């Protein structure tokens, strides 16, 4: 199965460069359909460029606080000198949404780059 998701420019480029290997999302109804070996086509919100990735593994957590404890910040999409905080994800997903659905760490690997 192939899914389409949008990404902001910075995380898109970090995936494209191979640094970001864990995509973080709310585990809502749409994401509950994801399975290992499924494909995700990410579209850059700024440039409309696309990349295709394969889901290697899915990690389910109650909150981003829990997810952040299990992964290196660079794998999550931060630069080495950034301060990584689960609070960063609250601009996308409220605490209430996190409590309702839980969150998902999606381990991915690049399949191909597109334009």
CATH number at residue 16: 2.30.130.30
Q: What percent of the chain has pLDDT over 90?
A: 97
* Residue 105 main-chain phi, psi, to 5 deg: -100, 120
C-beta separation of 45 from 8 below 8 A:
yes
Q: 64: closest CA among 107, 42, 93?
A: 93
Residue span of the structural domain in which 35 resides: 2-114
- pTM of the predicted model over 0.85: yes
The total domain count for the chain is 1
pLDDT grade for 114, boundaries at 50, 70 and 90:
low
- Say which residue the tokens 């290992």 belong to: 36
Rounded distance between C-alpha atoms, residue 91 and residue 35, angstroms = 26
Q: Which residue has the higher pLDDT, 112 or 70?
A: 70
Is residue 72 scored above 90 in pLDDT? Answer: yes
Residue-wise pLDDT tens digits, 32-47: 999 999 999 999 999 9
Instruction: List, in sequence order, every residue forming a beta bridge with 26; answer none if it has no partner.
Output: 103
- Say which residue the tokens 């931060």 belong to: 78
């Amino acid at each position: 199965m192939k899914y389409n998701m949008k990404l902001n420019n910075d995380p898109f480029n970090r995936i494209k460069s191979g640094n970001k290997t864990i995509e973080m999302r709310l585990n809502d109804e749409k994401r509950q359909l994801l399975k290992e070996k499924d494909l995700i086509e990410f579209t850059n919100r700024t440039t409309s460029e696309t990349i295709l990735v394969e889901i290697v593994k899915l990690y389910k957590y109650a909150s981003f606080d829990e997810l952040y404890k299990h992964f290196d910040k660079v794998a999550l999409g931060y630069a080495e000198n950034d301060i990584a905080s689960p609070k960063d994800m609250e601009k996308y997903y409220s605490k209430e949404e996190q409590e309702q659905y839980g969150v998902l760490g999606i381990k991915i690997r690049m399949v191909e780059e597109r334009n």
